[in-house]
């Protein structure tokens, strides 16, 4: 058993390293950012279609690390939106200097390899063997969307890695193993909190076990919930203490004395989490929010913000009721909906549910024509999206409707993918099908 496991780890590491090396080659040989090239540190980083929230990726972390080096707190410029622990942990990798690109390439390869290994373990827990177990890792490592997210330094790459490990642990029936990575994913991006309910359902009923075999899962959901709250509380406390220290070192808050722990909490959450929901930055991206809120009238802005942010939570109850006996399909559906309804989506958000698709048994019932149509839609979106953005923003030879039409096509792709999966689940009927062994 040790030899095959070592061979799998080596294969995953080689593929992840090759993809990271390709990113370095594109960064070294590509044209400059001003010419619209794909440079690793200037082009994809912070791009509208790859990196997601502008201040949460490597560009924001680099800004925060520079301000720390100058004796300021990392959020002083307003260009950093990463949580404090992410800034502190990744500062050595994102600091400017000659070791930047190699260090980032190693970090990218490590995250990719860990994500693929987690997907491989999840497939094994589902009973997949042989080439079928490698479908999900291959969908992740060979996807241009996950590659773009990794090269752009998007936090979605880390979110996906944590989610995949939480999934692997949940499929193995380990609430303690699932709680910490799930808490880390939610800490990094907030939206993965929506995926906690499907993970809890997996822990309660198991991925495919009959009702008589559920005894081993009793109480697992309660332990998972308790541990998740504990880890989230610990991460929030550590971040608040770190933020308080930064504020104190920078001279404290204007007009106040030494900052308290509550001051540190308010300071970093306002810049890391609330910045997502205030939607102050209306930079064009592949989401549905920026164009709508650039046109909506001021008195109605708060109403529509609340309405849009409630949409993923409003979808949870009907999905949970309809798919309570199909936890993997439920996880896929929530992943699609949270990717569709993010205010600042990136390539890594769509890559998440594409990597999960091979693990969903119901996808075997989706017609090949439908799978090809969904793949074609996203190929169209991520091939023409960067082009239309460049023509509009940089070249000035197009208008906003060109790029916004691409975001509408992206939304249609999400809806078609979710509809196809739900239709296949409805056609299957009865309990979730067991994974086939090969």
Q: Which helix or strand (DSSP H or E) is residue 74 part of?
A: none
Instruction: Provide long-range contacts, Cβ within 8 A and 24+ apart, for 83-89.
Output: 83/187, 83/188, 83/239, 83/268, 83/272, 84/238, 84/239, 84/242, 84/243, 84/246, 84/268, 84/272, 85/187, 85/235, 85/238, 85/239, 85/242, 86/61, 86/155, 86/158, 86/188, 87/61, 88/242
Taking the C-alpha atoms of residue 1 and residue 26, their distance in angstroms, rounded to an integer, is 38
Per-residue pLDDT of the chain (438 residues; tens, 9 = 90+): 565 667 667 777 777 777 776 666 655 433 333 333 334 444 566 566 676 777 777 778 888 888 888 888 888 888 888 899 988 887 776 664 444 556 677 777 888 889 999 999 998 888 888 778 888 888 888 888 888 887 777 888 889 999 999 999 999 888 999 999 999 999 988 888 889 999 988 888 766 544 434 445 567 888 999 999 999 999 999 999 999 888 888 776 655 567 788 888 888 998 888 887 888 888 888 888 888 888 888 788 888 888 888 888 888 888 888 888 888 999 999 999 988 988 888 888 888 999 999 998 888 888 888 889 988 998 888 888 888 888 887 777 777 888 888 889 999 999 999 888 888 776 555 555 454 444
- Measuring CA to CA, which residue among 322, 318, 332 is closest to residue 360? 332
- Measuring CA to CA, which residue among 135, 217, 126, 227 is closest to residue 167? 126
Crossing angle of helices 400-428 and 327-340, in 10° steps, is: 170
Quote the tokens at residue 88.
Answer: 């502190």
The domain spans of the chain are: 2-428
* HEC letters along 10-38: HHHHHHHHHHHHHHHHHHHHCCCHHHCCC
* HEC letters along 93-156: HHCCCCCHHHHHHHHHHHHHHHHHHHHHHHHHHCCCCHHHHHHHHHHHHCCHHHHHHHHCCCHH
pLDDT for 35 equals 34
Query: What phi, psi does 63 have (nearest 5°)?
Result: -60, -45
pLDDT for 29 equals 39
The structure tokens 């239309």 sit at: 388
212 CB-side CA count, 13 A: 0
Residues in the chain: 438
- Environment class of residue 180 by beta-carbon count within 10 Å: exposed (0-12), middle (13-18) or buried (19+)? buried
Taking the C-alpha atoms of residue 216 and residue 110, their distance in angstroms, rounded to an integer, is 33
């Amino acid at each position: 058993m040790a030899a095959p496991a070592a061979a799998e780890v080596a294969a995953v590491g080689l593929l992840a390293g090759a993809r990271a090396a390709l990113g370095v080659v594109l960064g070294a040989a590509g044209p400059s950012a001003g010419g619209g090239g794909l440079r690793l540190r200037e082009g994809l980083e912070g791009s509208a279609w790859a990196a997601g929230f502008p201040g949460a990726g490597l560009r924001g972390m680099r800004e925060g690390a520079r301000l720390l080096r100058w004796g300021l707190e990392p959020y002083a410029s307003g260009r950093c939106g990463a949580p404090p622990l992410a800034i502190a942990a990744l500062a050595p990798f994102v600091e400017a200097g000659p070791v930047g690109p190699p260090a980032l390439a190693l970090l990218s390869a490590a995250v990719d390899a860990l994500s693929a290994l987690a997907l491989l373990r999840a497939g094994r827990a589902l009973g997949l063997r042989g080439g079928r177990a490698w479908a999900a890792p291959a969908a992740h490592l060979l996807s241009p969307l996950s590659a773009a997210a990794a090269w752009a330094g998007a936090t979605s790459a880390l979110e996906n890695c944590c989610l995949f490990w939480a999934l692997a642990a949940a499929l193995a029936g380990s609430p303690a193993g699932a709680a910490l990575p799930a808490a880390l994913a939610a800490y990094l991006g907030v939206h993965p909190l929506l995926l906690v309910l499907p993970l809890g359902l997996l822990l309660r009923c198991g991925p495919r076990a009959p009702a008589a075999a559920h005894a081993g899962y009793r109480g697992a959901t309660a332990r998972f919930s308790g541990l998740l709250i504990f880890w989230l509380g610990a991460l929030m406390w550590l971040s608040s203490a770190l933020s308080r220290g930064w504020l104190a070192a920078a001279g404290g808050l204007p007009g106040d004395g030494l900052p308290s722990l509550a001051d540190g909490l308010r300071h970093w959450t306002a810049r890391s989490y609330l910045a997502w929901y205030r939607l102050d930055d209306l930079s064009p991206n592949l989401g549905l929010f920026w164009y709508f809120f650039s046109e909506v009238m001021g008195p109605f802005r708060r109403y529509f913000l609340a309405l849009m942010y409630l949409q993923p939570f409003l979808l949870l109850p009907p999905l949970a009721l309809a798919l309570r006996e199909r936890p993997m399909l439920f996880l896929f559906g929530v992943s699609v909906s949270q990717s569709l309804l993010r205010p600042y989506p990136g390539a890594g958000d769509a890559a998440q549910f594409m990597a999960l698709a091979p693990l969903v048994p119901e996808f075997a019932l989706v017609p090949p024509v439908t799978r090809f149509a969904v793949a074609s839609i996203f190929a169209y979106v991520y091939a023409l999206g960067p082009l239309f953005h460049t023509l509009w923003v940089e070249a000035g030879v197009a208008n906003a409707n060109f790029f916004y039409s691409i975001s509408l096509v992206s939304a249609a792709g999400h809806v078609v993918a979710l509809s196809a999966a739900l239709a296949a689940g409805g056609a299957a009927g009865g309990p979730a099908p067991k994974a086939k062994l090969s």
